């Protein structure tokens, strides 16, 4: 076994960071600025880059890309209802906002659509560009918005050059942080830049999947289940109210 972190290790880190972040949003709603709560959200920024990285890895290694994208699409539908229930966001989009109308799984699924378009040899570059712009617009209402699609593309296009992968990813995150700061909350916009904390972890990825073969299905099941529990906690603590932008 190689030294470093395998895929299972990194996914466990992402799951723990994501859970802490979501639980903090439910327990302490409306973007509090207490440093201890901010620290939890900073830790939470470590989740998304790992998901982006492994969508790119999954697309590269999978034997059946259609099945891989279809699985993400299915769980994006399931995840939509779990995510919106967790944070008190209407199930029917755009009733309250254009932000946070569905889960990050929708953006990850669209990331695979963008990878498909980008790798299609029969289309001209201008056609690919237009299609990818359309895909990023479809991802805009999701958690992490269009940036998730662009980050997946950057990581995939620069495969083999870790520095370029991370530079491209952070350029995308910087755009997201700016939009977040202007339209949602300045301090929480700045917090998005702490996704950079994940870079040393990804740098130690050893290219191995890990011994436990069930991690893939564990994540797909864990994602909606932990959100349902967050939703129950939200109602128990605050009643049926929204706890973040989008609700």
pLDDT tens digits for 48-105? 999 999 999 999 999 999 999 999 999 999 999 999 999 999 999 999 999 999 999 9
Percent of the chain with pLDDT over 90: 93
User: Mean pLDDT throughout 116-124?
Assistant: 91
How far, in Å, CA of 165 to CA of 72, rounded? 23
How far, in Å, CA of 41 to CA of 44, rounded? 5
Residue 130 token pair:
């237009």
The torsion of the CA quartet 68, 81, 227, 165, rounded to 10 degrees, works out to 40
pLDDT exceeds cutoff 90 at 245: no
pLDDT at position 189? 96
pLDDT at position 200? 97
Percent of the chain with pLDDT over 70: 100
How far, in Å, CA of 109 to CA of 128, rounded? 17
How far, in Å, CA of 27 to CA of 147, rounded? 27
User: Mean pLDDT throughout 194-206?
Assistant: 97
Q: How far is CA 245 from CA 59, 99, 130, in A?
A: 32, 7, 29
Q: Which residues pair with 5 in a beta bridge?
A: 205
Q: How far is CA 105 from CA 35, 44, 227, in A?
A: 29, 16, 13
Assign 159 to helix, strand or coil: coil
How far, in Å, CA of 138 to CA of 102, rounded? 11
How far, in Å, CA of 35 to CA of 170, rounded? 24
> In Å, how far from its chain's centre is CA 21?
12
How many CB atoms are located within 10 Å of the residue 38 CB?
18
pLDDT exceeds cutoff 90 at 216: no
Are 138 and 110 spatial neighbours (Cβ–Cβ below 8 Å)?
Answer: yes
User: Mean pLDDT throughout 224-244?
Assistant: 97
């Amino acid at each position: 076994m190689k030294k470093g972190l395998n895929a299972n290790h990194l996914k466990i880190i992402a799951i723990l960071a994501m859970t802490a972040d979501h639980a903090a949003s439910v327990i302490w709603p409306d973007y509090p600025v207490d440093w201890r709560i901010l620290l939890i959200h900073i830790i939470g920024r470590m989740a998304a880059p790992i998901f982006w990285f492994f969508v790119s890895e999954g697309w590269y290694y999978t034997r059946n890309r259609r099945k891989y994208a279809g699985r993400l699409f299915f769980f994006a539908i399931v995840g939509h209802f779990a995510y919106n229930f967790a944070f008190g966001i209407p199930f029917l989009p755009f009733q309250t906002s254009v932000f946070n109308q569905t889960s990050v799984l929708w953006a990850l699924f669209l990331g695979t659509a963008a990878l498909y378009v980008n790798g299609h040899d029969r289309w001209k570059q201008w056609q690919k560009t237009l299609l990818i712009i359309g895909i990023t617009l479809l991802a805009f209402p999701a958690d992490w918005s269009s940036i998730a699609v662009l980050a997946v593309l950057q990581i995939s296009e620069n495969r083999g050059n870790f520095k370029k992968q991370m530079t491209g990813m952070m350029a995308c995150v910087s755009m997201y942080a700016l939009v977040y700061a202007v339209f949602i909350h300045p301090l929480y916009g700045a917090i998005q830049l702490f996704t950079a904390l994940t870079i040393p972890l990804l740098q130690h990825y050893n290219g191995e999947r890990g011994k436990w073969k069930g991690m893939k299905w564990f994540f797909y099941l864990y994602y909606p289940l932990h959100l349902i529990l967050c939703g129950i906690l939200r109602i128990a603590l605050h009643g049926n109210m929204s706890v973040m932008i989008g609700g």
